[in-house]
Amino acid sequence: MAQSRKNKDFNPNNCPVTHFLNKIGGKWKTLVLYAISKNYNRFSMLQKVIPMISKQMLINQLRELEEDGIIERTIFAEIPPRVEYKLTDYGQSLMPIILTIQDWGIKDLQMQAKG
């Protein structure tokens, strides 16, 4: 049974920032997207590079990202079956934003370390 997302369509003022956060906000999606962009494109690889995420949460985030057209899942007809994820063009359009956020975070962490 598909679980409904709480905030997916909550945007009473049609705010572009709220729209963005509804797509990739939260604790995990940006990490998942960044990892996939760096070719950590299989479920087991994603679990290794994001060890704090639970298996169920990773499944949910991948499903939501796929449902929103941000990532694409490919199933290879092998034994055992192999599944790989990749960013769609739409998902790729988010990477400059994620990299800008990363740059800001690096600078802010350095400023805090200098105290």
pLDDT along the chain (115 residues), means of 10: 61 88 91 97 97 97 96 94 96 96 95 89
pTM reported for the whole predicted model = 0.86
Count of domains for the chain: 1
pLDDT, position 115: 76
Instruction: Classify residue 68: in a domain, yes or no.
Output: yes
Instruction: Classify residue 41: in a domain, yes or no.
Output: yes
CATH code of the domain containing 40: 1.10.10.10
Instruction: Classify residue 2: in a domain, yes or no.
Output: no
Instruction: Classify residue 23: in a domain, yes or no.
Output: yes
Q: Describe the crossing of helices 29-37 and 95-114 by its angle, rounded to 10 degrees.
A: 110
Rounded to whole angstroms, the Cα distance separating 96 from 45 reads: 23
Instruction: Classify residue 99: in a domain, yes or no.
Output: no
Instruction: Classify residue 54: in a domain, yes or no.
Output: yes
Instruction: Classify residue 9: in a domain, yes or no.
Output: no
Instruction: Classify residue 48: in a domain, yes or no.
Output: yes
pLDDT, position 1: 42
Domain region containing 42: 16-89
pLDDT, position 26: 87
| CB neighbours of residue 43 within 10 Å | 17
